[in-house]
Structure 1
Amino acid sequence: MGGSEPSAAPGLTMLARGEMADRVRAFDWSATPLGPVHAWSPSLRFAVDMVLTSQLPMALRWGPELVLIYNDAYAPALGERHPDYLGVLFKNTSADFQASTRALYADLLSGASRGFIFEKLPFKLLRSDQPETAWFTVSYSPVPDSTAPHGVGGVLISAVEITQTVQASNELRGVEERYELAREAAGVVGAWEWDVRANKVYADARYAELHSVAPEYAAAGLPVEAYQPAVHPDDRDRIAALAEASVKSGGAFSAEYRLVQADGSVRWIYTRGRSYLDARGKPSRNTGVIIDITERKRVEDALAAARVDIDLAAQAAGMGRWDHNPSKGLRYWDARARAIFGIPQDAPPSTSLFEKVVHPDDLASVRAAVKATLDPGGSGLMNQEYRIIRQNGAVRWVEAFGRAFFENRICVRFVGVVSDVTERREAIDRLLRQEETLRLAVDAAEVGTWDYNLETGDLVWSDRVYDMFGLLDRSEPPALAMVQEPVHPGDAERVREAVARAMDPTIRADYAAEYRVIGRDDHVERWLSAKGKVFFSPTGKPARFVGAAVDITDRKRAELHLRLLVNEMNHRVKNSLATIQAIAAQSFTNSQSLPQAQEAFANRLVALAEAHDLLTRENWEGADLHEIAERLAALHGGADRFTLSGPAVRLSPKTALSLSMALHELATNALKYGALHSPSGRVRIAWDVTTGPGAERLNLTWVERDGPPVKPPGQRGFGSRLIERGLAAELAGSAKIDFHPDGVVCQIDALLEA
């Protein structure tokens, strides 16, 4: 019972495995300020053991000299300095590193700081012998040690990789940029998403303004009833019925309707979207876009009158640590883990308490993942994303990394970390919705998009671009020449200037151009409206050119048609006024009284109006002779007083007007003095077409019968002169009126092409 030998100080536990664990055990620590391992303080041994057993990148700097110890996951961050940096002193690191971190370590070792967290830090790593950039959230935490001067023995460095989050953020930003460009090129002015079950409509600012709703309330979500007052009263029931049917059945929908603005003006809107049902077939959500087509409607109305259109991804907010011993039923959660799960700091940890916060729909998969990890025949690793429900009812997404350690096929330790990834999951969901909305916008407006990497030369575009440039082989890889060569020579210089201004780093103008292309394969001429944006590298060089284009050929044709119709209308109005002037001059002569002249003038204007009405229905492309004769009969006694016979003859506008005036004069005289003056009188109008030298000619005969006896007039009136002289001159032919006692006979010969 005499004095006994003191027991050896414990070294690293058997839980610490891997390359760095072996290197730490083999390292000559007696040559460093830390001294041999058996002399290490319990705090140092525990901290080293925790670092070496962790699957996350972790390192430890210990003592006033800040001696470095790190694990396998941290080694790639050191690059070529690994493994030589094991045991390196702070003073032997680079001058830049010392200058940037000296104050940080001093605050931690002195107890002046409780720790630091730096988010979104880029590191150059070697993975599979290939250099790559990765992003991390790095934390520096003091490690308590009662033997140290200020109670802090060293600094624990831990890192959580957020590369996927950063990449998702960058991808989301690119999608949002392409989405905005496509919306601008397509004329899309607003977008919305309706959560049907919550009756909340989330809309962007332009959609809100068009519906006279405050943008900040629309972004936060309003009931669908808040948007309905802006819908035009005449369209409200129709749109409500369409929305109700779409929500119930799901699927795509589209409609055109009017919105009444705050100033009383009316805007025409085209909307297109899709409704979705949940797994039970119940209405879930409704999303879509709107396009302002007011200008298109105005062009259509003008033609009709002349002829009677983000960074929302989230990143890890930190990590919490947990340590379990399943064989003994021991469990530990640190403060961060408890905060993430919403578990009170004083609540005893237990499996039942943990499972209580796991979302019921995810509990089975979490249990299965834990079971697989604790299986000694498995990998012993866990990486699981799942939902939790905090005590306040908030639903959050978390991601857990864990590793199980076994002795004799019994799990003696299950350690890991957990982080809140709700923002990242929401960012991915928003990205999918943005892409879905972009697809709807592109589909609704038939937009073609492109993305040109100016640094690598890679060019991608949508299938719609093939159609716009007349490219028939869709399997042909995109190339610049395929869209440059088809540009119309008259527009090529203007397009080149617009591209140059967008590429110029001193100008950086948005690319916008309307130009013609001649299809490379189909040789069809089209009008395109293109808009895009060039993105520049940090050195000021153009790096990426993205944009969208839309086919505006129909709009350009409509504008040209409108101009032609206006010019044609001006021409016809002038001609009509000249004709009326001539009729007035001939009607108001001294040969008859004023009442007679007024009646004659009015009747002739009616005849002229009838002829114009007939031609207007035919778009002033001509008129059918049989229809002219039928309308004459209807105006002067009815169809039973006239006999019409002859083949179908299409008359030019000029011939139709002249012949209508002549037949009106004959019918007027027949009503006053001829066959139509008597109830038994009849008129026969017969015609045929003869082929002579040159063009075809029309032969028309007017014959009156069974009327009062006819006597030749003492002098020829305006009607006779209009027929015999004016008609002959207008129609390049002849006209003759014979006053037979049995009835008037008029023979008309006219050139059909006159």
Structure 2
Amino acid sequence: MTELGPIAGWPGHLKSAVNLLLPAKAQIVLFWGPNFVALYNDAYAPTIGDKHPRALGRPAQESWTELWDDLEPLLQRVFNTGETVFAKDRPFYIERHGYPENVFFDISYSPVQSETGEVGGVLCIVSETTERVVAQAELARAQERLTQALSAAGMVGTFDWHVQSDTFYSDARFAEMFSVDPAKGEKGAPLAEYLAGIHPEDVERIAAALDHTVTTRERYAQEYRLVQKDGSTRWVEARGECLYGEDGKPDRFVGVVVDVTSQKNAQERQRLLAREADHRVKNIFANFHSMISLSARSARTPQEMAQALRGRMDALLRAKDLVRPGIMGTEHESQRTTVDALVRTVLQPYEDGSPDRIVLSGPDVSVGAKAVTGLALALHETATNAVKYGALSRPNGSIHVTWGASQDNFHLEWDETGGPVIDVTPQTRGFGSILAERSVTSELGGTIEHDWRRNGLRLTLSVPLNRLAV
């Protein structure tokens, strides 16, 4: 017997509600009266576990003590206002199997009204969604871990091309790298939309490689470039294979793509360093050959030649020290020199004792430690070219180097005479000339111009003073 009394004495709207819920397959509980006495059907009983059957016919607060602070406001809201409360995946804390649980329900709490509109109870239709919510959360965590793992491995993502329907699926990161809308990547898009993100020089090769893999059943492995939306280029490595149906027709083409841009950049840097090292070694031998020749022409005895040669080699080493960059955080970082000292150090190995061989003039302009590298490298490369092809390759050739400074700019002019006659302006530039120009334009933000006159090269160099002083 409950506080509701004999069934025969129940009001009509209570009997109607009970007759409605008992045979229903949905999970339904009715909380009746001001004490919210619980009446529920067999479908609902498993959701409350050990609380059944003692909860049947008893006030809700007795059975749902642990969550009463959460449940009572919901019931009171419906009971007092007559409105319906609905929620998806609503969390509840409950103890139904001897231990606490966080569970989730879709709920619909509705008032049960008499013919006069008086609310007698709250009819609750519920559906437990705990298993689905937990599974979704676990899936999201797994996806996050996968994304982190792919990112740590430098992987762009995975792809799944359904060959027969030409539907290409990918994750969001993969789609973005190929300049495809991530929503399309999830729902599927034609392969052509992904091929459009490949560098124009690579796309034909990759399309052919895909067709080859589908036809021959060979493994797919390709490196190619992607053009990003901002115009930059990324290198990727793709690997995959084609899967076939029972009928032998190609079904799905699956694989992964890894971002190898950093590796490609490192390889390019190594290639340039190796090329520059080779260039440097050749220049060193050229410098030594020139110094030996100069020493032999001007020396009167073997001892005098040896002494002169040692002096010139020492000067070359001092020039190399000027080219060496400063070390951050040390006293060398703030070192300064002057243009005069720098030019003399670089050109000293090529002096032969003649006052007209190398002529220098200009004011005392300060050069900062960082700018020394670029300027010294440009002078060194120009002097090397003069030794190989220009004024310093002839006994009577000479070089005039003049410099000055305006309000904002430093300018230097290198003027060669007495070298081989220049009948045709050089159409190609050597690596040394490119390196010299790059050291001025990239490192110093300046300009460098070559005027190939018939009687010799005139080189004009300009650098902002604020960059020269750094």
- Given the two structures, how large is their TM-score scaled by the length of structure 2? 0.51
Partner residue in 2 for 1:141: 110
Partner residue in 1 for 2:125: 158
- The change in CA–CA distance for 1:120 and 1:282 in structure 2 (over 3 A counts) is farther
Partner residue in 2 for 1:120: 90
Q: Does 1:581 align with 2:291?
A: yes
- CA distance in 2 between counterparts of 1:68 and 1:179 reads 46
- The change in CA–CA distance for 1:220 and 1:296 in structure 2 (over 3 A counts) is same
Partner residue in 2 for 1:228: 195
Per-residue deviation, residues 483-535 of structure 1 (Å, max 9, x unmatched):
xxxxxxxxxxxxxxxxxxxxxxxxxxxxxxxxxxxxxxxxxxxxxxxxxxxxx
- CA distance in 2 between counterparts of 1:125 and 1:106 reads 22
State the Cα distance separating 1:82 from its structure 2 match.
5.0
- The change in CA–CA distance for 1:136 and 1:260 in structure 2 (over 3 A counts) is closer
Say which is worse superposed, 136-145 or 231-240, in terms of deviation: 136-145
AA in 1 matched with 2:139: L
Per-residue deviation, residues 174-202 of structure 1 (Å, max 9, x unmatched):
21221122122111234444344443434
User: Are the counterparts in 2 of residues 250 and 283 from structure 1 also a CA contact under 8 Å?
Assistant: no
State the Cα distance separating 1:570 from its structure 2 match.
4.7
- CA distance in 2 between counterparts of 1:130 and 1:111 reads 34
- CA distance in 1 between counterparts of 2:192 and 2:16 reads 62
State the Cα distance separating 1:80 from its structure 2 match.
6.8
Aligned ranges 1:312-323 → 2 under 5 Å: none
Which of the numbers 125, 141, 144 marks the counterpart of 1:177? 144
State the Cα distance separating 1:121 from its structure 2 match.
1.8
State the Cα distance separating 1:39 from its structure 2 match.
3.4
Say which is worse superposed, 136-145 or 42-51, in terms of deviation: 42-51
- CA distance in 1 between counterparts of 2:132 and 2:287 reads 75
Root mean square deviation, CA, Å = 4.2
- CA distance in 2 between counterparts of 1:90 and 1:154 reads 12
Runs (5+) with no aligned partner, structure 2: 301-470
User: Are the counterparts in 2 of residues 111 and 151 from structure 1 also a CA contact under 8 Å?
Assistant: no
Give the match's secondary structure for 2:5.
coil
State the Cα distance separating 1:160 from its structure 2 match.
1.7
Aligned ranges 1:263-282 → 2 under 5 Å: 265-278=232-245, 280-282=247-249
- The change in CA–CA distance for 1:39 and 1:172 in structure 2 (over 3 A counts) is same
- CA distance in 2 between counterparts of 1:250 and 1:185 reads 30
- The change in CA–CA distance for 1:252 and 1:111 in structure 2 (over 3 A counts) is farther
State the Cα distance separating 1:36 from its structure 2 match.
0.9
Q: Does 1:211 align with 2:167?
A: no
User: Are the counterparts in 1 of residues 93 and 100 from structure 2 also a CA contact under 8 Å?
Assistant: no
State the Cα distance separating 1:305 from its structure 2 match.
4.9
- CA distance in 1 between counterparts of 2:23 and 2:183 reads 50
Q: Does 1:244 align with 2:204?
A: no
Aligned ranges 1:488-503 → 2 under 5 Å: none
State the Cα distance separating 1:40 from its structure 2 match.
3.7
User: Are the counterparts in 2 of residues 117 and 140 from structure 1 also a CA contact under 8 Å?
Assistant: no
State the Cα distance separating 1:235 from its structure 2 match.
2.6
Give the match's secondary structure for 1:164.
helix
AA in 2 matched with 1:141: S
- The change in CA–CA distance for 1:281 and 1:133 in structure 2 (over 3 A counts) is farther
Per-residue deviation, residues 581-602 of structure 1 (Å, max 9, x unmatched):
3256558999xxxxxxxxxxxx
AA in 2 matched with 1:58: I
Give the match's secondary structure for 2:91.
strand
Partner residue in 2 for 1:60: 30
Q: Does 1:168 align with 2:168?
A: no
User: Are the counterparts in 2 of residues 248 and 282 from structure 1 also a CA contact under 8 Å?
Assistant: no
- The change in CA–CA distance for 1:136 and 1:279 in structure 2 (over 3 A counts) is farther
- The change in CA–CA distance for 1:218 and 1:85 in structure 2 (over 3 A counts) is closer
State the Cα distance separating 1:132 from its structure 2 match.
4.4
AA in 2 matched with 1:581: M
- The change in CA–CA distance for 1:230 and 1:588 in structure 2 (over 3 A counts) is farther
Partner residue in 2 for 1:39: 9
Partner residue in 2 for 1:402: none
Runs (5+) with no aligned partner, structure 1: 1-27, 309-564, 591-754
Give the match's secondary structure for 2:117.
coil
User: Are the counterparts in 2 of residues 77 and 125 from structure 1 also a CA contact under 8 Å?
Assistant: no
Give the match's secondary structure for 2:196.
helix
AA in 2 matched with 1:67: V
AA in 2 matched with 1:69: L
- The change in CA–CA distance for 1:105 and 1:230 in structure 2 (over 3 A counts) is closer
Give the match's secondary structure for 1:270.
strand
Aligned ranges 1:285-434 → 2 under 5 Å: 285-307=252-274
Q: Does 1:86 align with 2:56?
A: yes
AA in 1 matched with 2:206: I
Per-residue deviation, residues 72-97 of structure 1 (Å, max 9, x unmatched):
56456657765443323468788996
Give the match's secondary structure for 1:35.
coil
Give the match's secondary structure for 1:257.
strand
- CA distance in 1 between counterparts of 2:114 and 2:216 reads 67
State the Cα distance separating 1:270 from its structure 2 match.
0.6
Which of the numbers 194, 197, 200 marks the counterpart of 2:161? 194
Give the match's secondary structure for 1:88.
coil
Give the match's secondary structure for 1:116.
strand
User: Are the counterparts in 2 of residues 43 and 144 from structure 1 also a CA contact under 8 Å?
Assistant: yes
Give the match's secondary structure for 2:82.
coil
Say which is worse superposed, 174-183 or 254-263, in terms of deviation: 254-263
- The change in CA–CA distance for 1:126 and 1:111 in structure 2 (over 3 A counts) is closer
- The change in CA–CA distance for 1:286 and 1:45 in structure 2 (over 3 A counts) is farther
- CA distance in 1 between counterparts of 2:114 and 2:247 reads 59
- CA distance in 1 between counterparts of 2:225 and 2:7 reads 81
- The change in CA–CA distance for 1:274 and 1:89 in structure 2 (over 3 A counts) is same
- CA distance in 2 between counterparts of 1:259 and 1:97 reads 56
User: Are the counterparts in 1 of residues 159 and 256 from structure 2 also a CA contact under 8 Å?
Assistant: yes
Give the match's secondary structure for 1:174.
helix
- CA distance in 2 between counterparts of 1:100 and 1:260 reads 55
Give the match's secondary structure for 1:227.
helix
User: Are the counterparts in 2 of residues 115 and 142 from structure 1 also a CA contact under 8 Å?
Assistant: no
AA in 2 matched with 1:578: F
- CA distance in 2 between counterparts of 1:105 and 1:241 reads 67
User: Are the counterparts in 1 of residues 67 and 94 from structure 2 also a CA contact under 8 Å?
Assistant: no
Give the match's secondary structure for 2:58.
coil
Q: Does 1:69 align with 2:39?
A: yes
Aligned ranges 1:441-480 → 2 under 5 Å: none
- CA distance in 1 between counterparts of 2:88 and 2:193 reads 44
- Given the two structures, how large is their TM-score scaled by the length of structure 1? 0.34
- CA distance in 2 between counterparts of 1:220 and 1:88 reads 51
Aligned ranges 1:94-109 → 2 under 5 Å: 104-105=74-75, 108-109=78-79
User: Are the counterparts in 2 of residues 196 and 284 from structure 1 also a CA contact under 8 Å?
Assistant: yes
- The change in CA–CA distance for 1:116 and 1:257 in structure 2 (over 3 A counts) is closer
User: Are the counterparts in 1 of residues 198 and 225 from structure 2 also a CA contact under 8 Å?
Assistant: yes
Aligned ranges 1:497-516 → 2 under 5 Å: none
Partner residue in 2 for 1:355: none
- CA distance in 2 between counterparts of 1:588 and 1:259 reads 60
Per-residue deviation, residues 659-706 of structure 1 (Å, max 9, x unmatched):
xxxxxxxxxxxxxxxxxxxxxxxxxxxxxxxxxxxxxxxxxxxxxxxx
User: Are the counterparts in 1 of residues 236 and 261 from structure 2 also a CA contact under 8 Å?
Assistant: yes
State the Cα distance separating 1:221 from its structure 2 match.
4.4
- CA distance in 2 between counterparts of 1:589 and 1:580 reads 14
User: Are the counterparts in 2 of residues 52 and 70 from structure 1 also a CA contact under 8 Å?
Assistant: yes
